[in-house]
Amino acid sequence: MTRTRTRTLGAVSVLGGIALWELLSRTVFDPLFLPPPSAIWTRFLELAADGSLPRDLGVSARTYLLGLAFAIVGGVVAGVAMASSAPIRDLLDPWVSALNATPVIALAPLFVLMLGLGIASKVVICAIVMVFPILINTYAGFSTTDPHLVEVARAYAATRWQNYVKIKLPMALPMVLAGLRLAAAHGLVGVVVSELFGAKAGIGLLIQSSAETFDTRGLFVGVVVLGVVGVVITYALAAVERRVGRWRVVQRQEGTA
């Protein structure tokens, strides 16, 4: 009942907002700066038809996924290492804390200068912005595992590897996934910003070149596509988190009952 109402109200809000936008663009605002949704849709179909939007999307998606892959591997390995070894933690912690607090995205132009207009510079930027949430949450997840359950593994003569994979990982996974969800959002910003500073293709380039030619409809196509992708990724990851973390919710409920 509540769920249906939530959905209905949500849909009404979105459709109403789009209608209001259409109305304002046609009456109050200059359609050059705020093109109406109908015009953006037309431009979307044009860009999709001439093949440039699929290409841009493909390039950005590849950059994003490569960056994510590096970030997951690096973040999980470093996070687990920090949680398992006090010396490693003490060595890495100042750097992780400092770099996490620094807006490394500001280094994007530098990486483009260093690594060129191709995909390499963008992948590096994406990986850097995505690695910290994953690393920090992996570290937190693996360092707060229940010692009682870890002892069960020891008592049943588990190897070190089995202890990590079968006991610690499932316990830490909900936290790692929460970090992944944060990273996924950071990564979208990373892709676009990296492409703004010079690229051969990509959604960021679409936005930037559209702005240069006063094609604000094209600019909005890029932004809306990003928004939709962002929403889809967030929903998908939230669904995975719910599935994986179900036992935790149940435990918490039992704890408060």
Partner 1 sequence: MSDASAKLRLENLGKTFRREGSEVEALHGIDLDVPAGEFVSVVGASGCGKSTLLRLVDGLIPATTGTVTLHGRPVRGPGQDRALVFQQDRLLPWRTVARNVGLGLEFHGLSKKECAAKAAELLDLVGLPGFADAYPHELSGGMRQRVNIARALAVDPDVLLMDEPFAALDGQTRELMQGELLRIWAQRAKTVLFVTHQVDEAVYLSDRIVVLTARPGRVRAVLDVTLPRPRTLAVKRSPEFARHVEHVWSLIEGEVRQSMERELLAGRRDETRSREGGEHGRTVG
Residue closer to partner 1 by CB (options 5, 148) is 148
Residue closer to partner 1 by CB (options 28, 157) is 157
C-alpha–C-alpha distance, residues 47 and 121, integer Å: 26
Site string for partner 1, 130-169 (x = CB under 8 A): ------------------xx-xxxxxxxxx--x---xx--
Residue closer to partner 1 by CB (options 95, 156) is 156
Query: Which residues touch 43 (CB under 8 Å, ≥6 apart)?
Result: 35, 215, 217, 218, 220, 221
C-alpha–C-alpha distance, residues 246 and 194, integer Å: 37
Residues in the chain: 257
Per CB under 8 A, 172 contacts partner 1: no
**Identity at 235, one-letter amino acid code:** Y
How many Cβ atoms are within 10 Å of 20's Cβ, its own excluded? 10
> Segment near partner 1 (CB under 8 A), from 5-13, 27-35, 203-211, 244-252?
244-252
Beta carbon of residue 256, minimum distance to partner 1 (angstroms, whole number) = 13
Residue closer to partner 1 by CB (options 55, 248) is 248
Residue closer to partner 1 by CB (options 8, 251) is 251
> Segment near partner 1 (CB under 8 A), from 44-52, 58-66, 205-213, 243-251?
243-251
Burial of residue 167 (number of CB atoms within 10 Å: 0-12, 13-18, 19+): buried
Nearest to 232 by CA among 62, 61, 3: 61
Q: Rule CB under 8 A: choose which of 10, 16, 54, 170 binds partner 1.
A: 170
- List the structure tokens of 147: 């010692």
Give the binding site for partner 1 (CB under 8 A): 148-149, 151-159, 162, 166-167, 170-171, 247-248, 250-251, 254
